[in-house]
């Protein structure tokens, strides 16, 4: 086990925040005795890479447990290279705060012993949320949180024993596994209780691009579907829904995670409303001698100021550094999170940061939205790809609240820049001030973020926008009455590419260049929805119509690109 | 010409800032009469795309003059769609500030007339710097700033009349044209007076990646070479250098640009030291009724507070919006620029923002540097690519000063995020606070910017770093004495891939995992330069050695990747 009965610092948990704390601390304070206890045999593995091991894109699980230069991240590595002790297969079963000891159990032998600490770090991560429906136990029905989940799936997939797959839960992991299933070519269904995929972070009109993309990849997407139970029939799992049942060779339960805070709770540390350990900005718990970081804590949501759970590997690593600095006697803070997240769905990239509209609405936060489609580079550049963006902001003070992005183009820059602005309480004016790197192989002369800022300004001058998708009945509902589509496209295949709900009598086609001349033929008492390729021309057309006294004109956000992305 | 003798707003110049001002202003103030005069026949063309037209990547010049939906940006387009008058082939020959008129000349007819203005906008752009050496006139020796330059080159290239090409000037445009030449397969030489390519923005140890990449593409790179004169021999250009002459079928002069501020100067507007028109934050000149924007102005360098010339299409477009808002009676400001720039060199991406080390040193600004190589995504992810970063910051207060990037991986995110931080006077702590979008197809759990921040912190604890490149004599000079290479690589092909200057006796190989055990064999009075794959392990090794009392240990920035990028 370990040849001493106490350590200056004891770390519980060995995936992200734990090893990062140990490594950073051993560099800052090389004389400290640090012991990290990890229940599993694997340590410091790239858990976020597991879906790409499941898909076969990452050939062996070893690539997730080795450094980039091919060295296994095992206890020897941590001792010799990083300078602290890592003990795997050891479970911490309890914490005695008054005695400053933990009881550790060797899982293989069952033997327990007590280990003293000067400072304790809890980095126990998260565990899967239990399904809210009965599940008959089977190795063919699994969560996807531990290496064994990925390894056993991959083994079955490779041996040809999986022909069909059901994924219950359409969040990030569920969608990543659905993508993995497209690589294998399985007959796959993804089931989500909410009426959309990716309900955490994305609003429905953006999440729909994920559903379309999975659908195009041959995945059956069933949103708004509640699972009643999962049972076995001749050893094969069957997922029972309200109105049907789906048999499959394998079932993944991707229902989200919750903070693994049992140890902390048991020893009386303060726990938040979401079940995570409460920590201050220095990541100290309610006990001065105990820090906590990673998925097991609740941290401040930068946008709302409320505490929330953000189970993200990126944050866990940053927590590790902050904890190490503080234990080493330096001052470091973790100010909070805005929830930046990216997810690849087959051929499109999706990302979000900050608050979604749904969240803002539910929280009663003042907000407004703008949408647009943009090429990520100039259209004339050969590799130009489209992206759709949605921005949420406070129209009263211009405060930025959130950004969502989807498309084949480069969304990462925009999510990252927006995130860096949220970090410092950014405003619409900061978007205008943003100086992006520009050259045709990478960007347009104006960044999409500049255009979003202009749209937000135009909204304050009266611009009315509708979410992408050109959904006639939704638009009618939002507008409050019937409307006429006013398609202003020119030269870009209007005839070939019009929303299916254009019908004789409910649409007019006036190319933008003719709008000023033909404005006399339009009726100021009619509601018009402007439709163009990406939304930019509709904004221009709205300006023309507004100047002419039209007040019932709406822009279909992101135009045709918003329908056909 | 135009059927009125005065306009509310007259705009001079029709490439970027001018048309943007007109379009934004016509939306904000639709009743204003706006006239834009443009000397050339082309208007609002993608001038930054010209190198990609020259290379053939962009099939026709028309793609640079048309909107993304295929409509030609001609006077009709601006009148009908954008709502203001554009007159091409019209040169503004003088400005009468007291009378508030301009004299305009129809270039085709030679006829002049006077046109009154309420507000004047000068957006005359930049013109090529005259060569500091004699040049015999020829259509085969050209600048690369106007459409005709690109069109005539492309025509000659396509007709097989160019076999060899000399590019004089190794800045952004010169390098982009060198890339274009690799597409055509010309026998090409690029000549730069400074000892490195891309001297504006990049330091030599980063710029060298551009030279290597062009070299790999078959381009002859001659830095530190001064051109004496360019003359014609049998009608064919010859570029005469100090010690040799190069004959070529075509010569491009890419010597940079200077603000085209003659009109402004002639009418008595204040001009800055760099020859650009002086403007305030609202982009107003020394005359209340005259605004100026784009390449013809000097604006505040956000880092130094000094005025400088930033000839960038991205800034010109943003100027247009600011001018329009101000003319329309709204308050808008342009706070300054940090000089974010990107350039593609064959298979690598390069970018910079803020101050280079060279600039900071010359300006007497307190600075320190860190370097590192990073995978842009986790190494286990199939499409992972490397990038090398250099950060310049003020070690006294942690103020961020500049970032340079090169590599096949995604550099744009990092340049953009760093730029957004410079916009708001960012510090090292802001890098730690930065929450990047994370998922394996896009990023590692820790962003390279986090690692750079850690290196900067380590420097304040004594970490010594050397620039990438493993240049033995440079390192000796920087260290002040002889040193021993201490290569700590393990498992990643140390034997196959070692800098050429490792010789018996001047290097030791101790895999990092064995360093603690073998530390007794090292000598505290010897200088060691640590070498690893990317620099991260060297930082770890430095921590180990520092804790053991070694004080003469240096890290080779960016490691082997810094040599072999």
- Judged by DSSP in three states, B112 sits in strand
Among candidate residues A150, A450, A425, the one with its CA nearest the CA of residue A304: A425
Say how far apart CA B316 and CA B299 lie, in whole Å: 11
Q: Is B217 exposed, middle or buried (0-12, 13-18, 19+ CB in 10 A)?
A: middle
Percentage of residues in chain B with pLDDT exceeding 90? 96
Q: Which residues contact A284 (CB under 8 A, 6 or more apart)?
A: A290, A291, A326
User: Per residue in B144-181, pLDDT tens?
Assistant: 999 999 999 999 999 999 999 999 999 999 999 999 99
Beta-carbon pairs below 8 A across chains A and B: 292
Q: Which residues contact B89 (CB under 8 A, 6 or more apart)?
A: B38, B39, B40, B41, B106, B107, B108
Q: Kindly report the average pLDDT of chain B as a whole number.
A: 96
CB contact under 8 A, A440 and B46: yes
pLDDT band for position B494 (cuts 50, 70, 90): confident
The alpha-carbon gap from B362 to the nearest alpha carbon of chain A, in Å, equals: 24
The alpha-carbon gap from B255 to the nearest alpha carbon of chain A, in Å, equals: 19
The alpha-carbon gap from A433 to the nearest alpha carbon of chain B, in Å, equals: 7
CB contact under 8 A, A439 and B341: yes
Among candidate residues A470, A474, A471, the one with its CA nearest the CA of residue A489: A470
The alpha-carbon gap from B511 to the nearest alpha carbon of chain A, in Å, equals: 10
- Judged by DSSP in three states, A74 sits in coil
Nearest C-alpha in A relative to B519: A80
Nearest C-alpha in B relative to A417: B417
Using alpha carbons only, give the angle B480, B482, B483 rounded to the nearest 5 degrees. 110
User: Per residue in A149-176, pLDDT tens?
Assistant: 999 999 999 999 999 999 999 999 999 9
The alpha-carbon gap from B235 to the nearest alpha carbon of chain A, in Å, equals: 35
User: Per residue in B368-379, pLDDT tens?
Assistant: 999 999 999 999
The alpha-carbon gap from B136 to the nearest alpha carbon of chain A, in Å, equals: 32
CB contact under 8 A, B80 and A513: yes
Helix axes A313-327, A17-28, angle to 10 degrees: 30
Structure token pair of residue B282? 């609202």
State in Å, rounded, how far the first CA of chain A is from the last one: 56
Q: Are strands A553-556 and A277-278 parallel, antiparallel or unpaired?
A: unpaired
Q: How far is CA B118 from CA A450, B3, B97, B268, B341, in A?
A: 29, 17, 10, 18, 36
Mutate to test the interface with B, among A57, A65, A68, A490 (most CBs of B within 10 A): A68
The alpha-carbon gap from A367 to the nearest alpha carbon of chain B, in Å, equals: 23
Say how far apart CA B441 and CA A426 lie, in whole Å: 27
Say how far apart CA A182 and CA A196 lie, in whole Å: 20
Compare CB distances from B440 to A49, A81, A515 and report the shortest one's residue: A49
Torsion of CA A370, A373, A378, A380, to 10 degrees: -150
Mutate to test the interface with A, among B75, B80, B420 (most CBs of A within 10 A): B420
Compare CB distances from A490 to B71, B341, B447 and report the shortest one's residue: B71
Say how far apart CA A16 and CA A170 lie, in whole Å: 24
Phi, psi of B559 (to 5 degrees): 55, -150
DSSP strand E in B411-483: where?
464-466
CB contact under 8 A, B442 and A338: no
Would you say residue B499 has pLDDT above 80? no
Decide if A384 contacts A409 (C-beta within 8 A).
yes
pLDDT score at A415: 98
Higher-scoring residue by pLDDT: B491, B309:
B309
Nearest C-alpha in B relative to A381: B58
Compare CB distances from B424 to A63, A69, A424 and report the shortest one's residue: A424
Among candidate residues A534, A404, A512, the one with its CA nearest the CA of residue A465: A534
Q: String of b and e for B532-561 (b: at least 16 CB within 10 Å)?
A: bbbbbbbbbbbbbbbbeebebbbbbbbbbb
Would you say residue B504 has pLDDT above 90? no
Decide if A529 contacts A486 (C-beta within 8 A).
yes
Taking contacts as CB-CB distances below 8 angstroms, the residues of chain B near A410 are: 412
pLDDT score at B1: 61
Decide if B422 contacts B302 (C-beta within 8 A).
yes
CB contact under 8 A, B434 and A441: no
Nearest C-alpha in A relative to B25: A543
CB contact under 8 A, B421 and A420: yes
Question: Residues of chain A whose pLDDT is less than 70?
Answer: 1, 492
Would you say residue B497 has pLDDT above 80? no
pLDDT score at B12: 98
User: Per residue in B204-241, pLDDT tens?
Assistant: 999 999 999 999 999 999 999 999 999 999 999 999 99
User: Per residue in B46-76, pLDDT tens?
Assistant: 999 999 999 999 999 999 999 988 899 999 9
Q: Is A160 exposed, middle or buried (0-12, 13-18, 19+ CB in 10 A)?
A: exposed
Taking contacts as CB-CB distances below 8 angstroms, the residues of chain B near A381 are: 49, 52, 57-58
Q: Is A397 exposed, middle or buried (0-12, 13-18, 19+ CB in 10 A)?
A: exposed
Domains defined for chain B, CATH in brackets: 6-126+258-327 (3.50.50.60), 141-255 (3.50.50.60), 347-460 (3.50.50.60), 464-564 (3.40.250.10)
Q: Which residues pair with A168 in a beta bridge?
A: A191, A253
Mutate to test the interface with A, among B68, B317, B496, B540 (most CBs of A within 10 A): B68
Decide if A455 contacts A372 (C-beta within 8 A).
yes
pLDDT score at A504: 86
Q: What sign has the CA pseudo-torsion A192, A47, B435, A336? A: positive
- Judged by DSSP in three states, A149 sits in helix
Would you say residue B492 has pLDDT above 70? no
Taking contacts as CB-CB distances below 8 angstroms, the residues of chain B near A348 are: none
């Amino acid at each position: 086990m370990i040849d001493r009965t106490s350590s200056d610092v004891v770390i519980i948990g060995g995936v992200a925040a734990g090893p990062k704390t140990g490594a950073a601390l051993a560099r800052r304070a090389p004389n400290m005795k640090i012991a990290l206890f990890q229940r599993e045999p694997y340590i410091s593995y790239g858990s976020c890479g597991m879906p790409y091991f499941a898909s076969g894109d990452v050939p062996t699980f070893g690539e997730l447990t080795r450094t980039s230069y091919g060295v296994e991240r095992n206890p020897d590595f941590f001792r010799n290279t990083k300078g602290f002790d890592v003990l795997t297969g050891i479970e911490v079963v309890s914490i005695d705060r008054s005695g400053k000891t933990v009881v550790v159990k060797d899982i293989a032998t069952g033997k327990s012993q007590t280990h003293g600490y000067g400072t304790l770090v809890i980095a126990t991560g998260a565990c899967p949320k239990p399904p809210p429906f009965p599940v008959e136990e089977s190795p063919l029905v699994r969560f996807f949180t531990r290496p064994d989940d990925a390894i056993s799936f991959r083994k079955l997939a490779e041996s040809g024993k999986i022909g069909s797959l059901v994924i219950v839960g359409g969040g990030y992991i569920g969608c990543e596994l659905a993508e993995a299933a497209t690589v294998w070519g399985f007959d796959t269904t993804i089931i989500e209780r909410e009426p959309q995929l990716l309900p955490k972070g994305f609003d429905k009109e953006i999440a729909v691009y994920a559903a379309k993309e999975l659908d195009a990849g041959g995945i059956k997407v069933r949103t708004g579907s509640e699972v009643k139970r999962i049972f076995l029939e001749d050893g094969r799992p069957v997922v029972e829904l309200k109105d049907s049942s789906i048999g499959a060779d394998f079932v993944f339960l991707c229902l989200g995670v919750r903070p693994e805070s049992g140890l902390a709770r048991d020893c009386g540390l303060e726990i938040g409303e979401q079940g995570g350990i409460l920590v201050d900005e220095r990541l100290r718990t309610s006990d001065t001698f105990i820090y906590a970081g990673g998925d097991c804590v609740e941290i401040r949501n930068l946008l709302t100021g409320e505490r929330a759970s953000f189970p993200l590997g990126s944050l866990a690593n940053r927590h590790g550094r902050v904890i190490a600095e503080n234990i080493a006697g330096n001052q470091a803070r973790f100010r909070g999170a805005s929830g930046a997240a990216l997810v690849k769905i087959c051929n499109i990239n999706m990302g979000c940061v900050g608050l979604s509209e749904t969240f803002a609405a539910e929280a009663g936060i003042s907000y407004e939205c703008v949408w647009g489609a943009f090429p990520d580079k100039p259209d004339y550049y050969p590799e130009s790809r489209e992206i759709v963006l949605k921005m949420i902001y406070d129209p009263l003070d211009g405060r930025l609240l959130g950004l969502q992005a989807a498309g084949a183009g480069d969304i990462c820059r925009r999510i990252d820049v927006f995130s860096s602005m949220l970090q410092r309480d950014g405003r619409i004016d900061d978007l205008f001030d943003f100086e992006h790197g520009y050259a045709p192989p990478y960007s347009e002369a104006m960044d999409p973020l500049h255009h979003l800022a202009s749209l937000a300004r135009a909204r304050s001058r009266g611009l009315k926008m509708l979410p992408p998708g050109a959904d006639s009945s939704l638009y009618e509902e939002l507008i409050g009455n019937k409307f006429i589509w006013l398609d202003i496209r020119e030269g870009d295949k209007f005839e070939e590419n019009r929303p299916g709900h254009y019908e004789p009598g409910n649409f007019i086609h006036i190319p933008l260049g003719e709008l000023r001349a033909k404005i006399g033929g339009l009726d100021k008492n009619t509601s018009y929805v402007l439709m163009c390729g990406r939304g930019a021309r509709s904004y221009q057309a709205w300006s023309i119509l507004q100047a002419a006294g039209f007040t019932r004109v709406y822009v279909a956000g992101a135009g045709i690109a918003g329908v056909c992305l």
